Amino acid sequence: MYRAVRPLLFQLPAETAHRTVHTLLRAVQATPARYALRERYVVDDPRLRVHAFDCSFPNPVGVAAGFDKNAEIPRALADLGFGHVEIGGVTAEGQSGNPRPRMFRLPEDEAIVNRMGFNNEGADVVGRRLDSQPKPDVPLGVNIGKSKSTPLEEAPSDYRYTYERVADAGDYFVVNVSSPNTPGLRELQHGDALRNILSELVDAGADPLLVKLSPDLHREAVADAVDLADELGLSGIIATNTTTERPDSLQHPNRVEDGGLSGKPLEGRATDQVRFVAQRTDLPVVGVGGVFTAEDAYEKIRAGASVVQLYTGLVYEGPSIARDINEGLLDLLDRDGFDTVEDAVGADL
């Protein structure tokens, strides 16, 4: 059915189509129709269950940050069969983000370029929404970014302000210092800048706390970030965010747009980053980048990811993607003789 509808959605600007889907899911979330979604899309099998960073995941397939920036549809996404939902990025101040257009499809490449710029309603609004609405029955992560107007040297207090507004609702929290669309943000991935932010949040009681890294970081910087996460007692690492690089294989004219590239072209690079991180720490790793199929998810799991996340795959494959991946994972586990997903984590390391 989605294959029939997708050409109509793709005639709309990418951000307009996203908002249309959002509005539909928000409407369904408030009605008994959500139970029909669960019946159709949720795969309930104990072999898929994963326990990581003090969270129990019914399956390893989650929605990455960016799809539900303002925590409007986390229950609807869980009803589509996802094993966790990460909302945000949320910033201390509400902000409109970068000028439109700021999201671009590359259909031939199964990719998206975005330069959204952390558009969201702000920590006060999102925090109140999270506190007032029922939570999904899967782990809820909150991705925290820096307000655009906040100087880099004041970033720790900015992150702390946001955390304190969402602290009661999140099951885990993510420090996002790797988006390419906020000026200077990626400078915070290094040295004392990252240490100061993470230390501030540890002091504030953020737990479980994860850090999300860029695929464009040099390996030495990735290793340093992993060492810092171990030193400070963080709960996990997310690999990876979008990339500003453009592979030569890209075909669509939108490849020239500024912003972060996500989707299939990032798949191999993201899996390499998962493997690199997992080889250097016992902390759980969340694998993100180019997950469209069960094989994509399984490759990241075998490379060391305890759970995976997707966004662009949902845009191209539609609402059945979590169900399809989870059913496919069960087949792959049977093929390779693993009793559970957890048994396959890091099998290729």
117-130 pLDDT tens trace: 999 999 999 999 99
3-state secondary structure of 243: strand
pLDDT digits (tens, 9 = 90+) for 92-102: 999 999 999 99
Residues 205, 210, 214, 219, CA torsion sign:
positive
Lookup result for tokens 């399956």: 59
Kindly write down the DSSP assignment for every residue of 149-211, as one continuous string.
Answer: TS-GGGHHHHHHHHHHHHTTT-SEEEEE---TTSTTGGGGGSHHHHHHHHHHHHHHT--SEEE
List CB contacts of 314: < 8 A, sequence separation 6 or more: 63, 67, 321
> Where on the phi/psi map is residue 326: left (φ > 0), alpha (ψ -120 to 50), or beta?
alpha
3-state secondary structure of 31: coil
Q: Is 260 known as a binding-site position?
A: no
Q: Tell me how far apart the alpha carbons of residues 288 and 273 are, in angstroms, rounded to a whole number.
A: 10
Q: Is the pLDDT of residue 166 over 90?
A: yes
Q: Is 119 annotated as a binding residue?
A: no
Distance in angstroms (rounded) separating the CA atoms of residues 286 and 92: 25
Report pLDDT digits (tens) over 187-214: 999 889 999 999 999 999 999 999 999 9
Note whether residue 349 is domain-resident: no
The structure's pTM equals 0.97
Q: Is residue 102 part of a domain?
A: yes
What is the mean pLDDT of the segment spanning 161-170? 98
pLDDT band at 303 (very low <50, low <70, confident <90, very high): very high
Q: Is 143 one of the annotated binding-site residues? A: yes
135 labelled as ligand-binding? no
Q: Which of 187, 185, 81 is nearest to 143 (CA)?
A: 185
Averaged pLDDT, 225-250 = 97
Report the percent of the chain where pLDDT is more than 90.
97
116 among annotated binding-site residues: yes
pLDDT at res. 225: 96
For residues 296 and 285, the answer to whether their CB atoms sit within 8 Å is no
Residue 205 CB contacts under 8 Å (≥ 6 apart), including other chains: 167
Q: Give me the CATH number covering residue 109.
A: 3.20.20.70
Q: Decide if 326 is inside a domain.
A: yes
- Rg from Cα positions in the chain: 18
For residues 41 and 61, the answer to whether their CB atoms sit within 8 Å is no
Is residue 3's pLDDT more than 90? no
Is residue 59 a part of any domain in this protein? yes
Return the number of other C-beta atoms located less than 10 Å from residue 202's C-beta. 14
197 belongs to a structural domain: yes
Q: What domain count does the chain have? A: 1
Looking at residue 71, its pLDDT comes to 98
The active-site residue out of 147, 149, 157, 179 is 179
How far apart are the C-alpha atoms of 28 and 22, rounded to whole Å? 10
Instruction: Say if residue 115 carries a ligand binding annotation.
Output: yes
The DSSP secondary-structure symbol of 134 reads P
pLDDT greater than 90 at residue 343:
yes
Could you list the residue range(s) of the whole structural domain that residue 176 is in? 2-344
Assess whether the previous peptide bond of 101 is cis (omega < 30° from 0).
yes
Is residue 183 very low, low, confident or very high in pLDDT (cuts 50, 70, 90)?
confident
179 is catalytic: yes
- What pLDDT score does 26 carry? 96
Q: What is the pLDDT of residue 23?
A: 97
Whether 195 is covered by a domain: the verdict is yes
Does residue 170 have a known ligand-binding role? no
Interatomic CA distance for residues 209 and 142, integer angstroms: 10
Alpha-carbon gap, residue 167 to 174, rounded angstroms = 12
Strand partners, 17: none
Distance CA 55, CA 140 (A): 9
104 is in an annotated binding site: no
Tell me the pLDDT band of 88, cut-offs 50, 70 and 90: very high
b/e code 295-332 from CB counts within 10 Å (16+ = b): ebbbbbbbbbbbbbbbbbbbbbbbbbbbbbbbebbbeb
Average pLDDT over residues 323-347: 98
What is the residue-averaged pLDDT of the chain? Answer: 97
| Mean pLDDT score, 31-43 | 96
With bands split at pLDDT 50, 70 and 90, how would you rate the model's confidence at 21?
very high
CA atoms of 73 and 80, how far apart (whole Å): 11
Beta-carbon contacts of 1 under 8 Å, excluding residues fewer than 6 positions away, are: 318
* Cα 234 from Cα 237, distance rounded (Å): 8
Query: Is 65 a known ligand-binding residue?
Result: yes
| Distances from the Cα of 262 to the Cα of 75, 128, 134, 301, 339, angstroms | 24, 30, 31, 19, 32
pLDDT for residue 315 is more than 90: yes
* Alpha carbon distance 347, 227 (integer Å): 22
pLDDT at 319 over 90: yes
The gap from C-alpha 285 to its chain's centroid, in whole angstroms, comes to 12
Per-residue pLDDT, averaged over 139-165, amounts to 97
In a domain, 223, yes or no: yes
